[in-house]
Amino acid sequence: MSYRLIQLNSGNKIPSIGLGCYDIPRSQTSKIVYEALDVGYRHFDTAVLYGNEQEVIDGIAKYLEDHPEVKRSDVFYTTKLWNSQLGKSNTEKAINTMMQQIGSLKYIDLLLIHSPLPGKEKRLESYKVMEQALKQGKLKNIGVSNYGQHHIEEILEDPSIETPPAINQIEISPWCMRQDLAQWCLSKDIHVEAYAPLTHGYKLQENSPQFQEIMTKYNKSPAQILIKWSLQKGYIPLPKTKTPSRLKTNLDVNDFELTPDEVKLVDQPDAYEPTDWECTNAP
């Protein structure tokens, strides 16, 4: 096993590394998901916005069919509601569509609200619909993405909601650390998934001499150092790659441990360079 299992506040477990499926072309997605399963991935993250949900599902389903020793319960499938799907009736329709789409996978391991942008009323309505789908067994876990502390507090403070988010998925890298938000989530037993942990490649060539020394010491790539950094911070990184050869190397991070001083060398606490959207501060 190339990962460990992390227990969520729901009692369910999630693999500590997932394959981010954003921007993987639909024509390649099923093949890459299948190959990822072959090298040890058991956690896949997609979204309605990404346009490749069906291909991720197909890749998982085909692998499970070909490898009966791997059970459905071994694989963790995440998707996300897009902004246009928020609001009570929209979310009910969206979940019904997802359940038809999921086919032989039977259930969704984690459904997230992709962003808080549609506003408080709609996002709370949607969360309550998700909670009902959770009770019906359609979903195993529910959570949020790109949420700031105030967005999560409105869920925790709503007396009609019984289920806290299991996950807040936010962009985190050494150049976008979000330490206050991440630590607050963890203090509330809400696990943090780190998307764009490799900065979409933008920062992989901008290595300081100290970073180069760490790479040389452990004989690891910049991507492997960043994935390990995220894991040691207590996050669940979702590295993405379209390159099959990198699937395995991104998982190959169990044979070394950064020292506390090395973690600090990788940290960039004064930087704020998100590579994606910023809506944790939305009203």
Rounded Cα–Cα distance for residues 62 and 60 (Å): 6
Rounded Cα–Cα distance for residues 2 and 9 (Å): 23
Rounded Cα–Cα distance for residues 69 and 67 (Å): 5
114 labelled as ligand-binding?
yes
Which residue carries 């490649």 as its tokens?
201
The two structure tokens encoding residue 144: 């949020």
Instruction: Name 34's Cβ contacts closer than 8 Å, sequence gap at least 6.
Output: 59, 62, 63
**Any idea which residues carry the catalytic annotation?**
50
Measured from the Cβ of residue 229, the count of other Cβ atoms closer than 10 Å reads 24
Rounded Cα–Cα distance for residues 149 and 191 (Å): 13
Evaluate whether 11 touches 37 at the Cβ level (below 8 Å).
no
Evaluate whether 197 touches 230 at the Cβ level (below 8 Å).
yes
Instruction: Name 266's Cβ contacts closer than 8 Å, sequence gap at least 6.
Output: 174, 211, 214, 225, 226, 229, 258
In terms of phi and psi (left: phi > 0; alpha: psi -120 to 50; beta: otherwise), the region of 119 is left
Q: Residues annotated as binding site for substrate?
A: 114
